[in-house]
């Protein structure tokens, strides 16, 4: 009986030792998932795939950083995704033994416009001409009438501007100002789609 226990214990120790050695021989990947503006994306899922099969996954921390450890040496494809963003793919990443390869901040996710409220507008003078360079302010109007500024921009040469927000019902007030002229419009949004509006000044700009 003692001999059997000794054999089992030796086998377990040998298995653990072998697994430990193999883990030390393997490599890994680390990096950062971010937006086009350089902001880290938290809770994004990063998955290493090899020969069409998912091998290992990790979730990014609050700063968008991740580590995939204990990967066998070889070539992998890296898939990274997060709700509200289009999925990203980085192909043919080589993993080497005993090395955690740093991919830096090369993993970039683009916002999926299908999950966004997009407000597009144009600014016009009284005579119908487009007004470029107008200051645009957008405020969120709550149910009790309270107003909070949530963004600002400048109209393009053709008088256009764009704001993007997460999907959800809300009411916004957009104000355009240029050389003494000012005008506002309100728009109510309900779901993810493009909302368009035109803001016209009642008096000539600069007069």
83-92, 126-135, 137-146, 173-182: least confidently modelled range: 83-92
Size of the chain, expressed as the number of residues it contains: 207
Please, which pLDDT band fits residue 88 given cuts at 50, 70 and 90? very high
CA distance 194 to 113: 9
Supply φ then ψ for residue 10, to 5 degrees: -65, -40
Q: What pLDDT, on the 0 to 100 scale, is given for residue 200?
A: 94
For the purposes of burial, counting CB atoms within 10 Å of the CB of 143, is it exposed (0-12), middle (13-18) or buried (19 or more)?
exposed
The half-sphere exposure of 197 on its side-chain side, counting CA atoms within 13 A, is 21
Is residue 156 over pLDDT 90? yes
Question: What is the per-residue DSSP string for 6-17?
Answer: HHHHHHHHHHHH
| Domain 113-200 grouped into CATH 1.10.220.10 | no
- Domain limits, CATH 2.60.40.10, in the chain: 18-108
For the purposes of burial, counting CB atoms within 10 Å of the CB of 52, is it exposed (0-12), middle (13-18) or buried (19 or more)?
exposed
CATH tag, 18-108: 2.60.40.10
- Domain limits, CATH 2.60.40.1120, in the chain: 113-200
Is residue 202 over pLDDT 70? yes
Is residue 10 over pLDDT 50? no
CA angle 120, 203, 153 (to 5 degrees): 30
12 dihedral zone (left: phi>0; alpha: psi -120 to 50; beta): alpha
Is residue 115 over pLDDT 50? yes
Please tell me the pTM assigned to this model.
Answer: 0.59
For residue 64, what are the contacts with CB-CB under 8 A and spacing of at least 6?
32, 33, 34, 39, 40, 41, 42, 44, 105
Q: Which two tokens stand for residue 115?
A: 């999950």
For residue 43, what are the contacts with CB-CB under 8 A and spacing of at least 6?
59, 60, 82
Residue 159 contacts residue 202 (beta carbons within 8 Å)? no
DSSP 142: P
pLDDT digits (tens, 9 = 90+) for 176-195: 999 889 999 999 998 889 99
């Amino acid at each position: 009986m003692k001999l059997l226990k000794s054999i089992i214990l030796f086998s377990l120790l040998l298995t653990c030792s072998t697994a430990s050695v193999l883990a030390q021989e393997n490599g890994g990947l680390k990096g950062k998932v971010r937006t086009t503006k350089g902001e880290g994306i938290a809770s994004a899922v990063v998955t290493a795939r090899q020969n069409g099969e998912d091998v290992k996954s990790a979730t990014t921390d609050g700063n968008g950083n991740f580590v995939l450890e204990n990967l066998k040496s070889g070539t992998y494809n890296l898939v990274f995704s997060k709700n509200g963003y289009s999925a990203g793919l980085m192909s043919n990443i080589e993993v080497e033994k005993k090395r955690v390869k740093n991919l830096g901040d090369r993993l970039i996710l683009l916002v999926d416009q299908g999950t966004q409220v997009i407000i597009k507008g144009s600014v016009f003078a009284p005579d119908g001409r487009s007004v470029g360079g107008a200051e645009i302010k957008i405020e969120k109007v709550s149910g009790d009438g309270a107003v909070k500024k949530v963004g600002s921009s400048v109209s393009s040469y053709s008088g256009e501007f764009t704001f993007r927000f997460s999907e959800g019902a809300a009411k916004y007030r957009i104000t355009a100002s240029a050389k003494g002229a000012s005008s506002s419009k309100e728009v109510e949004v309900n779901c993810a789609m493009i909302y368009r509006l035109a803001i016209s000044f009642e008096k000539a700009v600069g007069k």
